[in-house]
Chains A and B, each alone.
Chain A
Amino acid sequence: MAASSSSSSFSKPPCAACKFLRRRCLSGCIFAPYFPPEEPTKFVNVHKIFGASNVSKLLNEIPAHQREDAVNSLTYEAEARLKDPVYGCVGAITILQRQVFTLQRELDATNADIMRFASGTGAPRGSGSGYDDPNSTDYWTGKGQDGGI
């Protein structure tokens, strides 16, 4: 009989986490379903930002059916932090919040213009979308703006 360790017919390769951590990947490994061996970078990034033990604790506190989403969001945050060590994904949040704020103001202004027409009080204050707002969406798309806040 061949030694048990030489037969690889029924042994699964270690997950990316256990391979990186150089440990045996047991059947109940919490990382294995979410960090397949063919995606080593995914775990490397998550480990670099959050640490394997923190991720393990977090996953253990989450119901099993939500762990995949949790790992995906952690992966996204880790990658964002590696690309932007100062702001991480919070930079995206700030940008989006400002875009929402700006669009809301533009919508309010447009509706106010419509109401003015509807009430017969005449033309709006400005034409088209209105004002030269440095925080307008054109700023974020780089059209006709020089960037910066």
Chain B
Amino acid sequence: MASSSTTSPCAACKFLRRKCLPECVFAPYFPPDQPQKFANVHKVFGASNVTKLLNELQPHQREDAVNSLAYEADMRLRDPVYGCVGVISLLQHQLRQLQMDLSCAKSELSKYQNLGISGHGLLHHHQGITNLARDHHHFHHQLFPVTNQQMIRAFDGGSGYDASSLLSMNMSASIGQLGGFQQSRAAGPATDGRRTPVEPS
């Protein structure tokens, strides 16, 4: 008798050393060529927790869920103390800085618009603003040279990600909670400027 289709076991079943059945809940999301993805998720969340989580979701949501779990696990392994929360904290800090800079720049622009000044006397001052903007741009890319692109690709790639649904899930309240968490910390990534770039693999 010829052997049945010998598709290789998914990364999860290979890791767990069990037979990969056709209905394996992990198989669509943990291909055998990405062993580290499951290893990380298993280490942080545990296989049974992931199974329960996936079983509670609709099939069309599972890929995004696995990808976000993989990202969280990766961040937690890179930064065992803060994990993803460190990234959130840093982004909030960047956002605050940008908001202040934008406010200053708009104020400056409005002066020009109101007065119609086109002289060169203020050129040096505005080079300062430009430098500040450039520094923030550089700072931003220094810390997230890949993260931004990878994250947006991961969640824009036709997976049905809808930011408005996240907003409706009171995500802003969650971020607001983080404000309290930040203040309770003795020292945090936002204040020490983050040690190293945090990028997903």
Q: Which of A's residues lie within 8 Å of B, judged by CB?
A: 48-51, 53-54, 58, 61-62, 66, 69-70, 72-74, 76-77, 79-81, 83-101, 103-104, 106-108, 110-111, 113-115, 117-120, 122, 124, 127, 129, 140, 142, 147-149
Asked if B162 contacts A117 (CB within 8 A), the reply is no
Size of B's binding interface in residues, CB under 8 A: 78
User: With A76-B177, A117-B117 known to touch, is A50 a contact of B148 (CB < 8 Å)?
Assistant: no
Asked if A104 contacts B98 (CB within 8 A), the reply is yes
Within the complex, which residue of A53, A74, A114, A124 is in contact with B83, where a contact is CB–CB below 8 Å? A74
- The complex places the Cα of A107 from the Cα of B99 at a distance, in Å, of 9
B20 contacts the other chain (Cβ, under 8 Å)?
no
Asked if B72 contacts A89 (CB within 8 A), the reply is yes
> Between A and B, how many residue pairs show CB distances below 8 Å?
209
Tell me whether chain A's interface is mostly helix, strand or loop, or mixed. Answer: helix
Binary contact track B161-195/A, C-beta < 8 Å → 1, others 0:
11110110111001101100100111010000000
- The complex places the Cα of A127 from the Cα of B163 at a distance, in Å, of 28
Select the stretch in B8-16, B22-30, B31-39, B53-61 that faces chain A: B53-61
Asked if A94 contacts B152 (CB within 8 A), the reply is yes
Asked if A54 contacts B118 (CB within 8 A), the reply is no
- The complex places the Cα of A83 from the Cα of B171 at a distance, in Å, of 9
Tell me whether chain B's interface is mostly helix, strand or loop, or mixed. Answer: helix
Apart from A73-B181, A107-B133, A118-B112: 4 A-B pairs, beta carbons within 8 A: A86-B68, A90-B68, A98-B163, A104-B133
Within the complex, which residue of A50, A86, A92, A119 is in contact with B65, where a contact is CB–CB below 8 Å? A86
Within the complex, which residue of A66, A86, A129 is in contact with B61, where a contact is CB–CB below 8 Å? A86
- The complex places the Cα of A96 from the Cα of B152 at a distance, in Å, of 11
B21 contacts the other chain (Cβ, under 8 Å)?
no
Asked if A111 contacts B81 (CB within 8 A), the reply is no
B49 contacts the other chain (Cβ, under 8 Å)?
yes
A sample of 8 cross-chain residue pairs with beta-carbon separation below 8 angstroms, ordered by A number, consists of A76-B181, A85-B53, A85-B65, A94-B163, A96-B88, A110-B109, A120-B120, A122-B118
- CB-defined contacts of A101 to chain B, threshold 8 Å: 148
- CB-defined contacts of B177 to chain A, threshold 8 Å: 76, 79
Nearest opposing residue in chain A for B64, CB measure: A86
Within the complex, which residue of A87, A97, A147 is in contact with B68, where a contact is CB–CB below 8 Å? A87
Asked if B105 contacts A89 (CB within 8 A), the reply is no
User: With A86-B68, A91-B68 known to touch, is A66 a contact of B152 (CB < 8 Å)?
Assistant: no
- CB-defined contacts of A118 to chain B, threshold 8 Å: 112, 118-120, 122-123, 126
- CB-defined contacts of A124 to chain B, threshold 8 Å: 109
How far apart are B156's CB and chain A's nearest CB, in angstroms? 8
- CB-defined contacts of B171 to chain A, threshold 8 Å: 84, 91-92, 95
- The complex places the Cα of A81 from the Cα of B52 at a distance, in Å, of 13
Asked if A69 contacts B185 (CB within 8 A), the reply is yes
User: With A77-B85, A97-B144, A113-B109 known to touch, is A147 a contact of B167 (CB < 8 Å)?
Assistant: yes
